[in-house]
Amino acid sequence: MRVRSKLFSIVWKVVLLVAGAWGLLDGSGILAGAYQDGFPHMFTNISNLFAWGYFVCAVVWLVVRRDDPKAVTFAPLAKYTATISLLVTMIIGHFLLQDALWEGGHLVMHLVVLHYVVPIMTLLDWLLFDEKGRMPAWGPFAWLSLVLVYLVFVMVAVGVFGVYMGGGVTADISPYPYTFLDPAISGVGGVIGFCAAMIAAFVVLGYAIFGIDRLLGRKSRG
């Protein structure tokens, strides 16, 4: 059952924003007074920044339209783009970048927040507060827009123009932000195969969410 309390929705989003802001500021090195040059190159940070900007706008919109019962979900296309992008961040981080979550035997907390806390809270935001049954059938393709733009930008910037986008775990071994995007390490076929598999997997994930949305929509109307 959807939670209809706008106050609860606003509070939830504000908590998400606070967590995301801390994770981004700590991850960028700003809190420690030493900005990390590779920070804007990582999809983890880009997806979280996109989601942070979205939720700022959503909170303002909900506050301004707090008396409008039809004001439920601000800019659904942007919201579900943020949701899928964060799920990409969480799943790839969990299965391919586990080593980066640990440093000196301790969890890197800003990565935990950006890889798990923010994505899970964003997914729950949809489950708790959005009207169900309204997602368009073409949505899962549109929601991949941020991932696709990122992949194209990285491959063109580094592969064509020689821009250095390494950093973090790839700082000394690759000009790419991730080794699985570097043809010199993974091979051209490996990079193409990874990108194709990732896109296909997340289209399937998008349609799984679409299917759940339709099912919950029917139940709410029934």
The structure's pTM equals: 0.94
User: What's the pLDDT tens digit per position in 76-87?
Assistant: 999 999 999 999
Whether 69 maps to a domain, the answer reads yes
Distances, alpha carbon 29 to alpha carbons 16, 24, 32, 129, in Å? 20, 9, 5, 33
Whether 1 maps to a domain, the answer reads no
Task: For residue 12, give the DSSP letter.
Answer: H
Q: How many domains does one find in the chain?
A: 1
User: What's the pLDDT tens digit per position in 115-130?
Assistant: 999 999 999 999 999 9
Distances, alpha carbon 49 to alpha carbons 24, 87, 116, 215, 218, in Å? 8, 14, 15, 31, 33
- pLDDT at site 169: 67
| pLDDT at residue 93 tops 90 | no
State how far the Cα of 174 lies from the Cα of 181, in Å rounded to an integer: 9
| pLDDT at residue 139 tops 90 | yes
- pLDDT at site 168: 66
Q: Which parts of 65-144 fold into alpha helices (H)? A: 76-96, 109-112, 118-129, 139-142
Query: Which residue segment(s) compose the domain that 105 sits in?
Result: 6-221
Task: For residue 116, give the DSSP letter.
Answer: I
